[in-house]
Structure 1
Amino acid sequence: MSTVSKAVFGVSVVLTVGTVAGVHFKQHLDRERLREGVFRDLERQARKKENLRILEEQISLTKKLEADRRQQSSLTPGSS
């Protein structure tokens, strides 16, 4: 084999190995990102449930406050 053909073969091997390694590395990163996405979705769902619970609590407290105000206004003399 000539020196030029050995050099071309060597470059081809290096590029092939680099491409295969790059693809495997990219797949690993993609899998990690997908896994993190699942955890982010679970956290988002938990936050949404907590926000709904807080909203329901606020609605309940608002209704109670309005009822108390109506009761106070009906007990106050001179109110209509």
Structure 2
Amino acid sequence: MSRSSQAVLVVTALLSAATIAAVHVQQRRERERLYSGVLRDLERQSQKRENIRLLEEQIALTKRLTEEREKMLVEKGSQQS
């Protein structure tokens, strides 16, 4: 085999290896990006559940406060009569 054909063979092999490596790196990055999306979704769902829990707690506290205010107004009204 001539020297130039050997050089072409080596260059072609190196370019092929580099292309294959680049594709593998790209696939790994894409897989990591997709997985981080799943983690973000799980975090969002967790935060949403926490927000709903806090909202329900706030609603219950507001209801209790309203009931206590009404009770105090009724007691205050009965004391004045």
Same fold (TM over 0.5): yes
Q: Quote the residue 1:38 is aligned against.
A: 38
Give unpaired runs (5+ residues) of structure 1.
Answer: none
Identical-residue share of aligned pairs (%) = 48
- Greater share of helix residues, 1 or 2? 2
Matched residues in 1 for 2:7 and 2:71: separation?
Answer: 94
Greater relative contact order (Cα < 8 A, sep 6+): 1
Partner Cα separation in structure 2 for residue 5 and residue 62 of structure 1: 84
Match in the other structure for 1:9:
9
Number of residue pairs aligned between Structure 1 and Structure 2: 79
Q: What's the counterpart of residue 21 of structure 2?
A: 21
5+ residue gaps, structure 2: none
Instruction: Write the letter of the residue equivalent to 2:15.
Output: L
For residues 20-57 of structure 1, the C-alpha deviation after alignment (integer angstroms, 9 at most, x for no partner) is 11101111121122222222222221221111011000
CA RMSD of aligned residues (A): 2.1
TM superposition outliers: structure 1 runs of 4+ over 2 Å: 1-9
For normalisation by structure 2, the TM-score amounts to 0.78
